[in-house]
Amino acid sequence: MRYKVNENCIGCGLCASTCPEIFSMSDEGTAVAKDIDVPEEQQAAAAEAKDGCPVGAIEEV
């Protein structure tokens, strides 16, 4: 499974703090997801980050 951060991102940083192995903050101040299949050991944290996004900006792709 992979994740994508869409244009709804408000740059709160919750995803990057919840799962820094997959999500980070860009120079523009919004989140980005690594373009990789989420390793099994990171799947729970990545799903928590997605579910915790206050604006629903994280999508499974």
* 58 neighbors 29 (Cβ within 8 angstroms): no
Residue-wise pLDDT for 18-57, tens only, equals: 999 999 999 999 999 999 999 999 999 999 999 999 999 9
Predicted TM-score (pTM) above 0.85? yes
Domains of the chain: 3-60 (3.30.70.20)
pLDDT given for residue 56 in this prediction: 98
Chain center to CA of 13: 9
Region 1-28: what's the mean pLDDT? 98
pLDDT given for residue 40 in this prediction: 98
